[in-house]
Amino acid sequence: MVSAILLMAGKGERMKKDINKILLPLGNKKIYEYSLKVLLETVDEVVCVISEADSQLMKKLPKKVKVTFGGATRQESVLNGLRLVTNEYVLIHDAARPFITTELIEQIKMLLNPNTNVLVCNECKDTIKLLEGETIQTLDRNKLVRAATPQCSSTKYLLDGYNMALQDNNQFTDDLSVLEYYFPELVTELVYASDDIFKITTETDYQLAELIWRKYD
């Protein structure tokens, strides 16, 4: 059995909008509704983590969806969601990435086992420079990927990892970073996704999403 946490509590300040970006229209839906629809079709339980400022959303979400409020950081929001998960495995997804598909979720589910993480990612097409003081190093992009979501693992490992991060006051930028730090023995499987899996962060991203939404509607 597989659960999903849909992170919806971001403020989207870089969008320079007066509402949470996941509530912006995209075609004939709100941004968050695309991911939510796919997750409801493909997993056994969905936990939506929303902002208290968006509490009116609770009336609009399907009754079978569990709802909790987010924290001050993404990390706190994930932990709040994990506390409601009841299944062995959980996918964690950013609602600002609306273009996941049922096929992608099924690929992830096929790779699940107790000692494996699953990372959805994109190939790295740019040349990446590592800056260390006054030194600039060019990294081999053939050895790099761009992490996306969903990211998936055992609920127990994720819950334990996030609780340890809270106790240690450690901050991580994504879910698998937590597991890489606390449980380095776990194996990570990669699922390469379409570039459409990008996160809507800026106005330019939003405009791009508006151009491609039709094929996901």
- pLDDT bracket for residue 133 (50, 70, 90): confident
Given this model, what pLDDT does residue 122 score? Answer: 94
Phi-psi region of 10 (alpha: psi -120 to 50; beta: other; left: phi over 0): beta
In the block, tokens 């208290």 appear at 52
- Ordered by where they begin, the domains of the chain are 2-216 (3.90.550.10)
Position 137, amino acid: Q
132 or 190: which leads in pLDDT: 190
Position 17, amino acid: K
pLDDT, tens digit (0-9, with 9 covering 90-100), for 36-79: 999 999 999 999 999 988 888 888 899 899 999 999 999 999 99
pTM higher than the cut 0.85: yes
In the block, tokens 């260390």 appear at 132
